[in-house]
Amino acid sequence: MAAVGRTLLIVVVVVLGLGAALYFLGPKTASRSQTLEIERPAATVLARLSSTPVGATVVEGVTISEVPTTEGDTVTAPVAFADGATGRVTYTVTADGEGSNVNVKLEQDLGANPMNRFAAITGGEVAPLIAGAASAVETDLNALPNASFAGLQYSVVDLTARPFFYVENCSDTSVDSITSIIGQAVVAIPPVMSASRLTVNGPLMAVEPRVVSNQYCYQVGYPYAGRQPRALLIGKTGETPAGQALRVVYTGEEANVIGQVYDPMDALLGAAHLDNPATREDDWVTYEVYNDDATQAGGSRNREIYYVVPQGVDIAALTRIQAPSEAAAVPANAPAETPATTEAPATTTPAPATTTP
C-alpha cells in the first residue's frame, strides 16, 4: 500500500507541475485567424481598416474600443467583448495582383482564471467568433468601389451660395444620355432665363442631389443676376451649394470621368468611413461646372467637379489618408471668381438651399 500511495503522490505532483507549467508558461491569450481574398486594391483596403471608428462592430458581441494603430501593412485595434473581456483584432493586408489578401486575427486576453488559460488550447471563446468576424469584414471591403485613389488630386475649398436658375431632369448613366441633357441645357435654358429677365452669371452647372431608381437626377442651369421671378412656368430658382467642398479639375471626356474622378473619390470617401459603399442613401451631393463648350462631341473637357461635404462631417480622416493638394489653377476660360482654399477640414457645409417654384 505504501508503494501505491507513493506512486499516486508522484502522479499528483507531476500533474500539478504540468498544470502549473501550462498556467505560467502557456498562452495568455486565445486567438484564431482567417485569411480572405478581397477583390479591391490593397491601399484602399488598408486605408479603410485603419480608419475604423471606435464603437464599430467586429462581430456580434465584439466592438472596437480604441483608435486603431497602423504599422506598415498591419492594422491593430483593441476590442471589448460583451462579457467585459478585452482583446485585439489585427488585420494584415498584402497585395495580390489588383486585389488583396487580408488576414483577420481575433484575440481575447485570458486573465488569471486557469480554466480560461486551458481553454486557449482550443481557441477559447474566440473560436466560434472568427468566422463571423471574417465574413463581416469581407462583406464590408468588397462593397468598396473597385478603384484606387492613388494619384487623385483634390483641394478643399469653401463655396459661397449664388442665385441659381435650373431645370430638373433624370437620366441613365450612359454617356450619350448625359451629354445629350447637358447639350440641350446649353441651348434651351438661356432663352427661358432671358424671358424672365434673368442674366446668365456664370458657366453651366449640373447639381446631382440624389439618385433615384439608379438614375442620376440633375438640377441643370446657370447662376444668374437679376430679380427673382415671382412665378415660373418653366424652371426653378434656388441657390448653388455652399460651404466646404472637395474640388477636382477634370480635362478628359465624359466617357472617362467615372473611372478617373468619381470612382477614385468614392473609394477615398469609403476608405475614410465617410460614405457607406453598400448604399446610395448617404452619397454626398456632387456637382459639375462646365468651363468650355459642353455641347462638343464627348462632352466638356474643361470642368470642375465638387463633392459637397455634408453638414457636421469632419473630413480629417480623409485628408489624413490622402492629403489635399494646392488648389488647381482655374481653367483659362473660366470666370475670374474662384473658391478659396481652406486649411481647416472640420468646418461644416449647409445643404443646397430650398428652391422656389
Instruction: State the Cα–Cα distance between residues 165 and 224, nearest whole angstrom.
Output: 7
Q: Which of 31-45, 63-77, 143-157, 337-351 has the lowest mean pLDDT?
A: 337-351
Cβ distance 162 to 223 under 8 Å?
A: yes
Instruction: State the Cα–Cα distance between residues 353 and 357, nearest whole angstrom.
Output: 13
**Which burial class, exposed, middle or buried, applies to 121 when counting CB atoms under 10 A from its CB (0-12, 13-18, 19+)?**
exposed
Average pLDDT over residues 53-79: 96
Domains contained in the chain, CATH given: 28-142 (3.30.530.20), 155-341 (3.20.80.10)
Q: Please write the tens of the pLDDT for every residue from 315-326.
A: 999 999 999 998
Instruction: State the Cα–Cα distance between residues 225 and 288, nearest whole angstrom.
Output: 20
The closest of 163, 339, 166 to 246, measured between CA atoms, is 339
What average pLDDT does the chain have? 84
Instruction: State the Cα–Cα distance between residues 104 and 77, nearest whole angstrom.
Output: 12
DSSP state of 356: B
pLDDT tier for residue 344 given thresholds of 50, 70 and 90: very low
DSSP state of 130: H
Which range of 169-178, 249-258, 323-332 scores highest in mean pLDDT? It is 249-258
Set of cell numbers at residue 74: 498591419
User: What are the b/e assignments for 14-52, b being 16+ CB within 10 Å?
Assistant: eeeeeeeeeeeeeeebbbbebebebebbbbbbbbbbbbb
The closest of 312, 314, 311 to 351, measured between CA atoms, is 311
pTM for the structure as a whole: 0.79
Set of cell numbers at residue 291: 468651363
Q: Hey, how many other C-beta atoms are within 10 angstroms of the C-beta on 289?
A: 24
> 265 vs 118, which has greater pLDDT?
265
Q: Please write the tens of the pLDDT for every residue from 97-147.
A: 999 999 999 999 875 555 554 454 544 678 899 999 999 999 999 999 899
> What's the confidence (pLDDT) of residue 110?
78
Set of cell numbers at residue 147: 478603384
